[in-house]
Amino acid sequence: MTSDAPDNPSTPDVDFTRQLPAEVARWEADGIITAEQAEAIRNRYASDSPEAGGSAIGNRVVTVIAIMGAALIGLGIIAFIAANWSEIPKLAKLALMVVGTPAIYVIGWFIGYRFGYVRIGVAVILLGAIAFGASIHLVAQTYHVPVNHPNLVPLWFLGVIPLAYITRSQAVFALSIILFLAAAGFRAQEWVPELNSEDTILLLPGLLPLGAFLFAAGRMQARFPDTRQFARLCDISGLLVAAAGIYFLSFDELWWDIGRSKLSFNALTVEYWGMVAIAVIVIAALFAVAAWRDAGQRTGQIWWEAGAVGSMALVAAVMWLGLAFGGAWLWWVFNLVMLAGVLAMIAAGYRWNRAYLINLAVPIFAITLFTRYFEFGLGLLGQSVAFIVAGVILLAGGFGMEYLRRRLVRRIRESEAAS
Amino acid sequence: MSRRMTILLFAVVAAQVIGLVVFATVRQVALTQGREVTLQTVPVDPRSLLQGDYAILDYEIAELHESLRDRPVGSQVFVVLRECGDVWCGAEQSPRQPDPTDVYIRGRINDRGRIDFGIGTFFVPEGTGHIVERAQDVKVVVSLSASGNAVIKEVLVDGRPFNPGMEQAR
């Protein structure tokens, strides 16, 4: 595969499926692909073509509606459990969940893989994954185990993640990522049991290794045909988690408070640093696999991606050092880091033709900008000058990127015409 | 879906069911095999989004002894119990595990400077939390394992086992 291949070929857009038959015929005529390969490509996207009565958008609507249905039924099951209906004996409730959850999976499997309604079947399997979580919490409720017990959500995550890879469902994978992040949060209270509530800010730098891990997992999965469809979800969640860590530490008032209070760094236990070390080793391993898959290619994409993860590690180190020794001026550093991160995401999206990176960078930039605007209010001359200068730089950068893009397109067309 | 993937799918479903059964069995064994003691509580009544209504139970024996107040949040504390009439009260607190012949309960210092024994939550049917909240006297019967871990067995509201159906009918 090439590194520039789209991460999610299973959901082609309308233009793509409309243009594909003509393109495939042209490739076949030019001898780029054989007749068998052309047939295989046409069959691959047959159900998405308008001629077949389907369309990418139509398929997506079916998927979204089915998932919404599964989510609503799942919420109903959770509400049923939350009501803690005393008329049903505890053992009967447990039996209902122990029998009911597998029954949902069996129904999903029949609908999806026996009757051929894959999108509906996978949505029912998603419902089964929600019902599994509800069952865990039902057992916990029966024995008066609190909802914030550190083992409940990790158990739920471990039960759901294999289903995502077996069904290749993005919805189940999205649920797995949400559960993974929640599980990390619940486990954190075990890794740092001595942390006072006012010292929880010390956990924020940990969001960077967490985000870097998800991003690295996405980049590794992008290099395998069977897992490529999950890469985008991993990238987006990883970048969002990292951005959240930077965002929380970009507040001026927060750094003044940190300067006034004495944070107990000793509360960060060996387990906490051990988890950070494990994250670093796993990230390195994921990139080693990605580099192995990229061997022989000269796109250089892997170095950009490794650079992004390295930058996250550097920011995390600055955060820990800043919290230990830093001063109030550090809020500026993290605002600059956020701006640099946003620009890097836009540049990467532009360079590697990944629109989702740009679509992610713009709201992050907007949220940060509005936060600073409301944090400082109007009429502050220094801030207004800073905003204007930053805005001028961005406008100039946008103009430069558009100029380069046009020049690149012109050159490609000229070279095509010449050949 | 290939045959291999179908087998994998149902293996995962089986693992989920086994996980649920093991979780329930471990709790049930702790409940039935442990030593039974009754503790005096002071309840309040919030709501859990995922698990519905529950009462937070704070225990008289959760008061941290002065000699242990400089210990950090999250530190383990053992409370040796002795019978005081119809309830058990704290006789001694120690960071070290007491003699196996003693009856003791294990907890951790929480960020409010009290001891959390992991039995601070009691789930009740929807809309019945006020019964526990308004009670004059709430005691909790817990089952203690040999290592001092506690599981709630029953809640006594004004001397009677908590039964929301009966309470509401009254």
Q: How close A407 comes to chain B (CA, Å)?
A: 47
pLDDT tens sequence across A216-234? 999 999 989 889 889 999 9
pLDDT digits (tens, 9 = 90+) for A344-366: 998 888 887 788 888 888 889 88
Mean pLDDT of A187-213: 80
Burial label for A163, CB within 10 Å (0-12, 13-18, 19+), is: buried
Which of A191, A221, A247 delimits the end of a domain? Answer: A191
Give A34's contacts (C-beta < 8 A, 6+ positions apart): A28
Q: A178 lies in a domain?
A: yes
Look at residue A29 and tell me if it is in a domain.
no
A166 touches chain B (CB under 8 A): yes
Total number of domains constituting chain A: 2
Q: Mutating which of A98, A144, A176 best tests the B interface, going by the most B Cβ atoms within 10 A? A: A144
Facing B16 at nearest CB: one of A101, A109, A140? A101
Same-domain status, A220 and A175: no
Q: How many Å lie between the alpha carbon of B100 and the closest alpha carbon of chain A?
A: 26
Task: Indicate whether B57 and B130 sit together in one domain.
Answer: yes
Cβ count near A370 (within 10 Å): 10
Residue A403, domain member (yes or no):
no
Considering only CA atoms, which of A48, A77, A66, A76 is closest in space to residue A170? A66
Residues B125 and B154 occupy one common structural domain: yes
User: In this model, does residue A181 exceed pLDDT 80?
Assistant: yes
Residues B48 and B106 in one domain: yes
pLDDT at B47 over 60: no
Cα A98 off chain centre by? 31
Would residue A95 count as lying in a domain? yes
- Judgement on whether residues B87 and B124 belong to the same structural domain of the protein: yes
If asked whether residues B62 and B7 sit together in one domain, one would say no
Fill in the DSSP letter of residue A206.
G
pLDDT at A178: 96
The neighbouring-strand residues paired with B39 are B140
Indicate whether A143 and A249 sit together in one domain.
no
On whether any CB of chain B is under 8 Å from the CB of A145, the answer is yes
User: What's the CA gap between A256 and A248, in Å, rounded?
Assistant: 14
Spacing of C-alpha A361 from chain mean position: 13
Q: What is the mean pLDDT of residues A194-215?
A: 83
A183 and A203 both lie in a single domain: no
Q: Are residues B145 and B107 in the same domain?
A: yes
Phi first, then psi, for residue A4 (nearest 5°) are: -85, 0
Q: Note whether A113 contacts B: Cβ–Cβ < 8 A.
A: yes
- 3-state SS assignment for residue B90: strand
Higher pLDDT, A64 or A418: A64
Residues of chain A found within 8 Å of residue B51, distances taken between Cβ atoms: 81-82, 84, 137, 140-141, 147
All residues of chain B having their beta carbon less than 8 Å from the beta carbon of residue A112 are 1
Query: Residues A210, A348: one domain?
Result: yes
* Strand (E) or helix (H) holding A402: helix A381-418
Domain match, A122 and A253 both: no
Asked if B123's CB is within 8 angstroms of A139's CB, the reply is: no
- Euclidean distance between CA atoms A18 and A31, whole angstroms: 22
One-letter identity of residue A385: V
> For the whole model, what pTM was predicted?
0.76
Q: Which residues, other chains included, contact A190 with Cβ-Cβ below 8 Å and sequence gap of 6+?
A: A150, A271
* DSSP-derived 3-state class of residue A84: coil
pLDDT in tens, B33-46: 888 888 888 655 45
pLDDT over 80 (residue A52): no
A101 in a domain, yes or no? yes
Same domain, B11 and B93: no
Residue A9 has pLDDT above 50, yes or no: no
A118 and A255 belong to one structural domain? no
Distance, CA of A37 to CA of A33 (rounded, Å): 6
Distance from CA of B52 to the nearest CA of A (A): 4
A195/A193 Cα distance (integer angstroms): 6
More confident residue, A74 or A334: A334
Same domain? For B21 and B89 the reply is: no
Query: Which range marks the domain in which residue B122 is found?
Result: 35-169
Query: ∠ at Cα B45 (B41, B46), nearest 5°?
Result: 135
A263 in contact with chain B, both atoms CB, cutoff 8 A: no
Q: Is A380 exposed, middle or buried (0-12, 13-18, 19+ CB in 10 A)?
A: exposed
B57-108: pLDDT as tens digits: 888 899 888 888 888 777 889 999 998 888 898 888 998 889 888 899 999 8
The answer as to whether A401 is a domain residue is no
Regarding whether B39 and B5 lie in a shared domain, the answer is no
Residues B18 and B44 in one domain: no
* Residues A159 and A187 placed together within one structural domain of the fold: yes
β pairing state of B87-94 and B138-144: unpaired
* A136 plus A202 within the same structural domain: no
Q: pLDDT band for position A2 (50/70/90)?
A: very low
Q: Give A125 to chain B, closest Cα distance, Å.
A: 10
Cα maximum dimension of chain A: 82
How many whole angstroms separate alpha carbon B150 and alpha carbon A91?
A: 21
Tell whether A102 lies on the interface with B, counting CB pairs under 8 A. yes
**What is the CB neighbour count within 10 angstroms for residue A240?**
18
Chain B residues within an 8 Å CB radius of A196: 73, 111
Chain centre distance of CA B87: 16
The total number of structural domains in chain B stands at: 2
- B29 with B54, same domain: the answer is no
User: Which of A147, A171, A191 lies at the terminal end of a domain, its last residue?
Assistant: A191
d(CA B148, CA B150): 6
DSSP B10-75: HHHHHHHHHHHHHHHHHHHHHHHHSEEEEEEEEEE--EETTTEEEEEEEEGGGBPPGGGTTSPTT-
Segments forming the whole domain that contains residue A150: 55-191
Pick the closest to residue A200 from A212, A209, A213, A191 (CA basis): A191
Residue A127 lies in a domain: yes
Residues A220, A94: one domain?
A: no
Query: Any idea what DSSP says for residue A54?
Result: -
ipTM of this complex prediction, to 2 decimal places = 0.75
Tally A–B CB contacts below 8 A: 127
Q: What is the mean pLDDT of residues A280-299?
A: 86
- Which chain A residue's Cα is nearest to B22? A139
Mean pLDDT of A315-329: 83
Residues A262 and A292 in one domain: yes
Closest chain A residue by Cα to residue B29: A143
Decide if B37 contacts B57 (C-beta within 8 A): no
Whether A95 and A171 share a structural domain: yes
Backbone CA torsion sign across A281, A287, A290, A294: negative
A23 found inside a domain? no
Instruction: Please identify, among A191, A213, A240, the residue that sits at the C-terminal boundary of a domain.
Output: A191
Write out the H or E segment, with its range, that includes residue A44: helix A35-44
Same domain, A149 and A100: yes
Least confident of A15-29, A157-171, B144-158: A15-29
Classify B155 as helix, strand or coil: strand
Please provide residue B135's backbone torsions phi and psi, each rounded to the nearest 5 degrees: -65, 150
Cα(A189)–Cα(A168) distance, integer angstroms: 32
Chain B nearest-CA residue for A84: B125
- Asked if residue B68 and residue B125 are part of one domain, the reply reads yes
